[in-house]
Structure 1
Amino acid sequence: MDNLLLGIKNSEEPAFEQVYKLKKEKVLAFFYKKTRSVDDAADLMQSVFFRLWKYRYTIDVYANVDQHLFQLAKHVYIDFLRTNKHRVNEPIDSLEFPNPANDYDTLERESVLYHLKSESDLNQRIFLLNKLHGYSYQQIAHLLSMPVKSIDNYINKTLKRLRKKLK
């Protein structure tokens, strides 16, 4: 049982303040990786802690603080994506690779998509534009207003991490 979560569930403000002080940077970093915006990340981080306090009576005290916060963060981020229609990223779950030649290819591609979900949104987008949609590095660089070398680095590092996960 997590004593800090139990304290928050019992409306103890010092427990909430301690969790905020200990975890705010971690939650902020999580959202910054997703949004690449300091302002959005700060707003989303505040939303997580607001929800933590607002819905404190529903806390599962047998979870740990990180599990609970990042479950809240996941929901806050999903809400953020729903309300920000300007995002052009396609959710990974809705993507399909071209028709595979055999069942082994299907399993391998599904595994790649599964592990790709753990990458940042930018890594996912760059990787999928290149590997799934066939964009060249130059086209992706132009589309995202980034140097070609950065695109090369993103793809190479993503491939390296994916290979490691798929071993």
Structure 2
Amino acid sequence: MKKPVTNFRTPWSGIRRHHLHNATPFAQAREEILAILEGKVVVGHSVYNDFEVLNMDHPGHMVRDTSSTRLLSRLAGLPCGRCSSLKLLANKLLNRRIQAGRRGHCSVEDAQAALDLYKLVEGEWEEEMERRMRDDDEAAPQEPAFLSSDHYMQDEFWPDEVLTDGRHGEQ
């Protein structure tokens, strides 16, 4: 069922009405996204919100959500019991100012920040995930699928116009 967009959430999405002219229909975009993400580790910040919008269940062991890991909170000197904002983590741990514009968040800038934050604690995070998988599956231990680089989305999925937009390339 096709529903009109009533709130673009521009301060967070950066999307305005003109961005949706000739846009890919939601159902088609959803199917393409599901196909791309199938079997892949998803790295992001508060990605469960995105999964909810897509009506998608992604296996928990295949998600690296920088909003909820204690590893980054501890490294940033923040309380471990709450979700930290991407803006705060990027500032404290990457010395990077993001989400500072008045045109809304830049999804590419946010994604790059989340990936860079993940890389700061990747080794420890993956060891922790491997331990959890082993504990959950003591009867039949095997190498977890997420340890293969085939399960990470490569840069080829970034649209060319996003990669060449100077606003996103600055670090």
What TM-score, normalized to structure 2?
0.29
Higher percent of residues as helix: 1
| Rg larger for | 1
